[in-house]
A and B are shown apart, each in its own frame.
Chain A
């Protein structure tokens, strides 16, 4: 029983169970919580968060962490709006933003792994530089707008044929399937877990840690940029600090989803469940009429309680 409780599968199941329980509680406590509009809104918000969490999941599995995600989100958000506002073709805009993000992430990974520095501090430093560069470029006043297509893609009122959800939802489900398959069924995924659980053994198995870290952090920044562009469509205008709430939320979602911060264990399905849980808690607390500051305090408590339920680490005696 004990073994089962500690396995990643059980943690993911726990996160999903809590998401369901929260939904039932919300429906019972708040009128309109389970209305079609409210569900759609929560789905869209959870999807946006989960896209930002893709990279956090990967970098945490490899044994790192990525604090540059909020800065890259803000970077993509502002740069995409600015370039599109200047009349550039949006496909080209996305390509530029994507390539720049990949470069930022690759730099994160290269410095962290190449010099054996803690990624927490490296990504924080690089993130600060990125944010500063964006501010210098826009002189602190980002302008521009979102293209119609992106706005429609993430709009809460959108629909896919007869189904009343925006295209974001099916696209995200497809993305999740791809990520889960990549993590579980490809050499990249196996190397990722191997490096995370035991870097020394992974090196003996001829896994190149430097290359893996570069690729993984580049992917992380790339998905942060995707989230930034999607957020641009969601809010309609550029805002450099749009990513700030995602700094801790991505970490919280990943951990609630059962991924261990020490690396080597975790799943993207869990992260998605974690993102749904966080979105619901937020909606629930605001729906109950709490002040924003108290919502934050309650969110902190809930994170601690949830993680202490099923996200506990092994005692040091069990690791010998």
Chain B
């Protein structure tokens, strides 16, 4: 998409492309990383990076999961990502491992993916074919999922098999890499272009023959599958079933996506930006905890950094637009 604009001038460098795709977030990431390493060398010692990645993984997963539905445009959003992670967590630990005694990865992983895909399909059906505004449709599934999760899991319980526990540390790279691999595959399909075209201008895409409802439906299915994987990462991290943690991921994930330069209006951005946004949020939380400020101050700073960062992204967009017009 960027190639069209610079056919006349020099080839864009990798830095420029990165800047275009993810905006201001990589710079923030760099600053935060340096700040964290300088201020807290022990926690950020190379040996600890595995643990840190493990801690950040569910948030990164949630942000990655939120992205495809948002890329579809026209208010496309999935607020049920967090509760879906919790639902997967509850089903896997409470129903499959504790009650049915199934602990083989060859059962649990496909089951998590299937649950994710199924809930995503319901969301997609409601948003794309029944044509309920996405935030309302997924709010409906949000409430249903939270309600059902708390019904089958009134209080935290259970434990996870050793193989799943393995993925709570540096190995949590593996599920994240799996998500990126799936996305890499999707980007090689015509579907990806259809999704971005639909997100930028669904009417133009429709007149060009794109099956807009189907494209949007599939974006929710992809979001669901990714949320299923993120649910497994959360399960690995907390090592038990807990119905109250996951729903809080929804809004943070959407913040991370916005921070990562993904346009909430659709059609712009990608998984890399979302991941960088999520890591930024994790690092913000980390650096603020370090200052030993109360959680209340942490909350102010968190909100302020979010607002300032998205403002800077918007300002960067304007400067870029002006530069292009010149």
Contacts and interface: CB of A to CB of B under 8 A. Distances in A.
Given A120-B264, A294-B147, A255 B140 contact: no
Contacts of A276: none
Nearest to B265: A118
A1 interface: no
Nearest to B205: A316
A163 interface: no
A316 B206 contact: yes
Interface stretch (A193-201, A225-233, A295-303): A295-303
Contacts of A314: 131
A136 B297 contact: yes
A248 B137 CA distance: 12
Interface stretch (A28-36, A122-130, A172-180): A122-130
B55 to A, nearest CB: 21
Contact of A121 (B131, B202, B207, B254): B254
B297 A117 contact: no
B130 A124 contact: no
B84 to A, nearest CB: 13
A65 B77 CA distance: 13
Given A125-B255, A303-B136, A313-B131, A132 B303 contact: yes
B304 A129 contact: yes
B296 interface: yes
Given A118-B264, A132-B296, A132-B297, A124 B251 contact: yes
Interface in A92-132: 111, 115-118, 120-122, 124-132
A52 B154 CA distance: 31
B133 A262 contact: yes
A120 B142 CA distance: 17
B133 A260 contact: yes
B307 A261 contact: no
Given A118-B258, A121-B254, A132-B298, A304 B264 contact: no
A320 B296 contact: no
A245 B124 CA distance: 25
B287 interface: no
Given A121-B310, A125-B310, A129-B307, A320 B132 contact: no
Contacts of B136: 251-252, 255, 261, 303-304, 307, 311
Contact of B133 (A126, A255, A320): A255
Interface string B203-214: 100110000110
A262 B75 contact: yes
Given A140-B296, A294-B147, A115 B133 contact: no
Interface residues of B, number: 55
Contacts of B302: 128, 132
B135 A261 contact: yes
Q: Which one of B147, B151, B258 has the greatest number of beta carbons of chain A within 10 Å?
A: B147
B207 A301 contact: no
Tell me what chain B mostly uses at the interface: helix, strand, loop, or mixed. helix
A205 interface: no
Contacts of A88: none
A210 interface: no
Contact of B315 (A115, A308, A312): A115
A262 B76 CA distance: 11
Nearest to A137: B296
A295 B147 contact: yes
Nearest to B258: A121
Interface in B270-326: 294-304, 306-307, 310-311, 314-315
A294 B126 CA distance: 21
Nearest to B312: A115
3 tightest A-B contacts by CB?
A: A297-B147, A300-B143, A128-B303
Interface of B: 74-75, 77, 126, 130-133, 135-137, 139-151, 154, 202-203, 206-207, 212-213, 251, 254-255, 258, 263-265, 294-304, 306-307, 310-311, 314-315
Given A131-B299, A132-B303, 10 more contacts: A122-B310, A125-B303, A133-B300, A136-B300, A297-B145, A297-B147, A300-B147, A308-B126, A314-B131, A317-B206
